[in-house]
Structure 1
Amino acid sequence: MPTPSKTATALVLSCALTAAAQAADIPVHTLDNGSVRATVTDAIGGRLLSFGLAGQPSFIKSDLAAGDPHAAIGGTTDNVGWLGHEIWVGPQKEWWSHQDVNPARAGLPWPPDPWLSLARYKIEEKRPDAITLASPASPVNGLQLVKRYSLVAGKPHSLRMDVDAANARKTQVAWDIWFNTRAHGDTRVYVPVARREDVRQQAIEPKPDMVPLTWTLADGLFSLDAFPAGKGQPHRNGKMLLQPSAGWMAGFHRGQVLVIQFAHQPRAAIHPDQGQIELYNDWQPEAPEKGLMEMEVHAPYVTLAPGRHMLASEQWTLLPYGGPDTRAAQVAFLRAHAKELGLDGL
């Protein structure tokens, strides 16, 4: 159980998030077992807004002032940067290729499907330890999502996310389920990767103030290189597509470690344009608070007949971390906890 001082801190953080949500008129549902605390909304795509250890800030980065949660949804709706955790589908290049609600967007890879990312979801079940939300059927990709967020019995530091995607069309569709977790730009993420050939780097849009990401692969673990904040440091941006050697990744940020676990897949199960794990990082050293890290996981690419379903899950575990912000110390921490967490590849 949290100490009184941690409880007080948690109350302050809870009130701040609740106030921000109320200011934006966003409903918030809380899952709290005294060890971890998660908040979810049935608005703006049924997304997870926060997840943190008791008495600590949210590991997840959200912007509850990004837009109007009551804005109408349609074929011309643009993305709204609420961030948090949401579900997309892959491959991205086909997002607008199988629809007729906006022919002008045919073949475009952006924005995300507004019916899945921005619409109000229906609350199908709500308990103190779990909530289940259902999306409308999307005319953009033909899917209807059911998301379930639940605290894990016997694992007080863990949260589980289960996604059911059903083909609501009368014709077949082909997609994958894509988990996208937004964290702060200076989050240090580690992924088990066996070979250099399992790492792909996407080119960035050339801009005068921006340089590509750099990275390290050593002792079976991939990580993006960290760079200091401050004036005169280059703006770094880019995306990595990774084939992991085991079904997990871990992010370190300001005293908390988020371990994301999922079903490990062979490369052949993942759409060739994607990686089972993808890391997008925008690091703005002169304005670190504006940066972003996206910790993304793709489930297998599946062809669905009408009425058929595909399922995918992630389990999140948060641990406290009091060590230095160095690769050596963080890798040692992961190795020390590998057996209890079931982290293969270490």
Structure 2
Amino acid sequence: MPRPPLSLLTLGLACLCAATSAFARLPAHRLDNGVIEARVADVAGGRLLSFALKGKPNFLLVDETAGDPALAPDAMSNHVRYQGHEVWIGPQHEWWVHQEVNPARAAAKASWPPDPWLSLAKYSVVEKTPGEIVLDSPASPVSGIQLRKRYALVPGRPDSLQLDAEATNRSASPAGRDIWFNTRVPAHTRAYVPVASHDDVRLEPGAALRYTLERGMLSLDLPVPGDAARKGKLFAQPSRGWLAAFGDGQALVIQFAHQPRAAIHPAQGQVELYQDADADAPGKGMLELEVHAPYVELAPGQTMRASERWTILPYDGPATRGAHLAFLRRHAAQLGIAGIP
């Protein structure tokens, strides 16, 4: 058989390489203690790509093929749906107000997309050991913020992961900002937040959501086949510093420093749940588990800090509110949480 011309071979190899890279997983660092495992990328915004009990499915919703991590962010970058867990800087309605690199977004007071330098850039590795990794973002000309993220296994708690974030104002002007943890999970995930009353809950305008709030515990209702799709955001002032989520044979509890309502920017909630769920399209959509730290006026060079502690446990019970709350009650002392009816 005659050999194809060299140019065709070259083209074929180039196409093969392009196809391989387009569908490859993002390069990532692994944290693994034999009980839990996590993958952290320094590309694509230093995000957490996976977290699960060893041998269990990834609890997070992630699409590692969503974009090209080699592309450097710029002022025209749009959102790339890598998903997973990332850190934003709030409040959202001011995302593009205090910058000059994209005047059109400033004039429009754009609330989307997130800061590309924090969400899409490659972070530098500051420190890496078998038990932790520390990453620094570039200083953003959009928010004026440089982020440092630390992901670490927790000594004495093999089922837990510590997430620490530091935000430093690298601009020459004071900046009012907050640290905003955003965790994406599949749409079928069921979430619970301790909330004292309906006065501590609000829905964004137009939100098509349903929730249950009984005996101090809020849960989002999932649609069943034939129901209208659910989409929108719920803002909550929690009564305790934790939330829980159940899915794929695992229970995830996220703990954080509980804040008074006055500490959180009024446009946000300390806990926010964004749901996009359609029972007739079960493979699509998502749930976002979002936590805001206090809104702080940062002087130039000043740093603010916030943390989450994630604990994941096996769960083999039914997917019902009653069974989930009973599970949380049984493990409350072990988890160090309270407020479960």
| TM-score, normalising length: structure 1 | 0.90
Correspondence list, 1:1-346, <5 A: 23-24=23-24, 26-106=26-106, 107-204=109-206, 212-228=208-224, 230=225, 232-346=226-340
CA distance in 1, matches of 2:140, 2:93: 17
User: How far 1:22 moved relative to its partner?
Assistant: 8.6
Letter in 2 for 1:192: P
User: How far 1:25 moved relative to its partner?
Assistant: 6.2
2:25–2:65 Cα contact (<8 Å) kept? no
1:21–1:27 Cα contact (<8 Å) kept? no
2:222–2:277 Cα contact (<8 Å) kept? no
- Structure 1: where are the runs of 5+ without partners? 1-19, 206-211
2:36–2:160 Cα contact (<8 Å) kept? yes
CA distance in 1, matches of 2:24, 2:80: 13
CA distance in 2, matches of 1:66, 1:269: 35
1:217–1:223 Cα contact (<8 Å) kept? yes
Letter in 1 for 2:202: R
1:4 counterpart residue number: none
Mean CA deviation greater in 335-344 or 313-322: 335-344
1:21–1:64 Cα contact (<8 Å) kept? no
CA distance in 2, matches of 1:43, 1:220: 40
Change in Cα spacing, 1:22 to 1:336, as seen in structure 2 (3 Å) is farther
The percent identity for this pair of structures is 57
Instruction: Please list every run of at least 4 consecutive aligned residues from structure 1 whose deviation after the TM superposition is greater than 6 angstroms.
Output: none
Letter in 2 for 1:214: R
2:78–2:116 Cα contact (<8 Å) kept? yes
User: How far 1:104 moved relative to its partner?
Assistant: 0.3
- Structure 2: where are the runs of 5+ without partners? 1-19
SS at match of 1:104: helix
CA distance in 2, matches of 1:122, 1:23: 24
SS at match of 1:311: strand
1:21–1:28 Cα contact (<8 Å) kept? no
Letter in 2 for 1:308: Q
User: How far 1:23 moved relative to its partner?
Assistant: 3.8
Change in Cα spacing, 1:266 to 1:55, as seen in structure 2 (3 Å) is same
What is the RMSD computed on CA atoms of the aligned residues? 1.5
User: How far 1:197 moved relative to its partner?
Assistant: 0.3
Rg bigger for which structure? 2
| TM-score, normalising length: structure 2 | 0.91
SS at match of 1:180: strand
